[in-house]
Chain A
Amino acid sequence: MILKNLILDSGNYYTLDLNTNKKRFWDPNRSKICAGLKRGFNFLPITEDSKVLYLGSAEGYTISYLSDLADSGVVIGVDISPISTQKFYLLCKERSNLVPILASADLPESYKHLIDFKVDVIIQDVAQKNQVEILKKNSDLFLRDGGFVVLSLKTTAISQGKTQNIINNEIDKFSKYFTIIEKKRLDPFEKKHILIVGKKK
């Protein structure tokens, strides 16, 4: 995995800022993608010119780093909360390749008219009971053939049972629609989370 703007320096990850070209520290405690990188992911399916759809962008911490990585592409953030989107909106004004959508990720039909092209990667970071279904609905509408998906699964959002059983169940559902490339628990950074990278069948 070689990315122009991703820098590994003494165990910590940094990105080169899109606007100022300075090194920016990426905190694994605040971002699940960075936590995945720290846990030793070999493959992050983002290139310099990829089009990324990020579900659950919130105030835009993680997505601002993704916009550094895909600096000649487009990164679209979807979130349901108007108050979080206020902050994210201002971030999008600063960054040329970042785009806001205020909608529920569970209803992709409601923002279908805004995305009139196919994206390369969908990243799902919405902690909901039907996480895999949300990813599936969005990938049917927006993902190109052979595109990649990244799912950050929060097991406590699904049920209060044993973590390993929930993960097994969800992976069964996930592998119906996607082939799994890599999966890792995020344990020191996020408890009871798993990050899965897959490819569209």
Chain B
Amino acid sequence: MDINKEKYFKEAQEKIKHELNTTDQKIILYSLIIEKLPKNINELFEQLRIITDLKYPTLDQYLTIEEYCKYVLDGSLENTDKQKELEKIAFEEISITFDEKEKELVNLFAKNILDLIYLKNQFEEEISILLKKQFPNLYLIATPKIAAKMLQISGSIKRLAKMPSSTIQLLGSEKSFFKALKLNKNTPKYGVLYNHELLFDLNKKNKAKMARTIANKISIAVKADLNNNNISKELYEKILKKKEEIINLQKK
């Protein structure tokens, strides 16, 4: 049978280009890229320490990974408080000195790790810029990291907007949720929302209450974002008010 294939190809081309070029898809891709970078950086850092522990024993107790790599590269830190603290420690008495070749190798390694950290920060910045520009409500209420994670799990902003808030509350806890359903046990109370900045100082029971409140507001925020409405400040005030109520109950 003869068929005009050109019109199918033309329509498929247009749709592929259109669907891959949306903001929410880009956020999802970026968040997929940087998902495993922290783990890789930690592993590389452990391997770096195999050599540098010879010259700077126990240095990793005082510094973060980024500061450690900078210290290894330059031999000093911009942050003067920490620099003074480090000068008190007598590394020289219990360590060896590197020769030229060793110095070169260590510097190369440390530079690579710093590059990876820079890459991760750049992607995170880009995610929050995109979110702030396109989805301001979601940006303020869910915070960039959690918003990106939610988009990644749901697949797209439209699918997230169609979800009820009870589903949003449990996004990310699918494994334990279905396990609990199968065994007729208690279902989980929160998924990726557990890492939200408003949750960490509450006790276990109130965390669940707060997670429900935030999930409610996220569900409203996403729908407003799709209609180009900016109601983020009002929603955020409501959440803070609810948090005060919950804290007051906690005191009693």
Is there an interface contact between A102 and B16, defined as CB atoms closer than 8 Å?
yes
B1 at the interface (CB under 8 A from A): yes
Is there an interface contact between B16 and A82, defined as CB atoms closer than 8 Å?
yes
- Specify which chain B residues have a CB less than 8 angstroms from the CB of A92 in the assembled complex: 5, 8-9
A39-81 near B? 1/0 per residue, CB < 8 Å: 0000000000101000000000000000000001110000000
Shortest distance from the beta carbon of A162 to any chain B beta carbon, whole Å: 12
Q: Give Cα A82 to B14, complex, Å.
A: 11
Q: Give Cα A74 to B16, complex, Å.
A: 22
Q: Give Cα A169 to B16, complex, Å.
A: 37
Q: How many residues of chain A get a CB closer than 8 Å to chain B's CBs?
A: 20
Complex interface: stretch among A26-34, A83-91, A124-132: A83-91
A2 at the interface (CB under 8 A from B): no
Give the tally of cross-chain contacts (CB within 8 A).
45
Q: Give Cα A74 to B11, complex, Å.
A: 18
A160 at the interface (CB under 8 A from B): yes
Is there an interface contact between A85 and B12, defined as CB atoms closer than 8 Å?
yes
Within 8 A of A (CB), among B1-52: 1, 3, 5, 7-9, 11-13, 15-16, 19-20
- Specify which chain A residues have a CB less than 8 angstroms from the CB of B15 in the assembled complex: 82, 102-103
Is there an interface contact between A86 and B181, defined as CB atoms closer than 8 Å?
no
A99 at the interface (CB under 8 A from B): yes
Is there an interface contact between A85 and B16, defined as CB atoms closer than 8 Å?
yes
Which of A51, A73, A82, A101 has the most chain B CB atoms inside 10 A of its CB?
Answer: A82
Is there an interface contact between A82 and B20, defined as CB atoms closer than 8 Å?
yes
Shortest distance from the beta carbon of B21 to any chain A beta carbon, whole Å: 10
Known: A74-B3, A82-B15, A102-B16. A160 touches B178 (CB 8 A): yes
- Specify which chain B residues have a CB less than 8 angstroms from the CB of A49 in the assembled complex: 1
B185 at the interface (CB under 8 A from A): no
Q: Give Cα A74 to B15, complex, Å.
A: 22
- Specify which chain A residues have a CB less than 8 angstroms from the CB of B251 in the assembled complex: none
A198 at the interface (CB under 8 A from B): no
Is there an interface contact between B1 and A83, defined as CB atoms closer than 8 Å?
no
Is there an interface contact between B11 and A114, defined as CB atoms closer than 8 Å?
yes
B88 at the interface (CB under 8 A from A): no
Q: Give Cα A89 to B19, complex, Å.
A: 15
- B-side interface size class: 10 to 19
Shortest distance from the beta carbon of A145 to any chain B beta carbon, whole Å: 19
A36 at the interface (CB under 8 A from B): no
Tell me if B's interface is mostly helix, strand, loop or mixed.
helix
Q: Give Cα A100 to B15, complex, Å.
A: 11
Is there an interface contact between B181 and A101, defined as CB atoms closer than 8 Å?
no
Give the contacting residue for A89; candidates B9, B178, B181; CB below 8 A: B9
Is there an interface contact between A101 and B19, defined as CB atoms closer than 8 Å?
no
- Specify which chain A residues have a CB less than 8 angstroms from the CB of B133 in the assembled complex: none
Give the contacting residue for A82; candidates B7, B8, B19; CB below 8 A: B19
Give the contacting residue for A86; candidates B1, B5, B16, B182; CB below 8 A: B16
Q: Give Cα A102 to B19, complex, Å.
A: 10
- Specify which chain B residues have a CB less than 8 angstroms from the CB of A97 in the assembled complex: 1, 3
Is there an interface contact between A73 and B20, defined as CB atoms closer than 8 Å?
no
CB nearest neighbor in B for A100? B12
Is there an interface contact between B20 and A100, defined as CB atoms closer than 8 Å?
no
Is there an interface contact between B1 and A72, defined as CB atoms closer than 8 Å?
yes
Give the contacting residue for A99; candidates B5, B19, B20, B181; CB below 8 A: B5
Give the contacting residue for B3; candidates A82, A99, A102, A103; CB below 8 A: A99
A96-126 near B? 1/0 per residue, CB < 8 Å: 0101111100000000001000000000000
Shortest distance from the beta carbon of B51 to any chain A beta carbon, whole Å: 41
- Given A99-B3, A102-B19, 8 further pairs, Cβ under 8 A: A85-B16, A86-B16, A89-B16, A92-B8, A100-B8, A100-B12, A102-B12, A114-B8
A selection of 14 A-B contacts at a CB cut-off of 8 Å is A72-B1, A82-B16, A82-B20, A86-B16, A89-B12, A92-B5, A92-B8, A99-B8, A100-B12, A101-B8, A101-B12, A102-B11, A102-B12, A102-B16
**Which 9 A-B residue pairs are closest in the complex by CB-CB distance?**
A82-B19, A102-B15, A100-B12, A82-B16, A99-B8, A102-B12, A74-B1, A74-B3, A82-B20
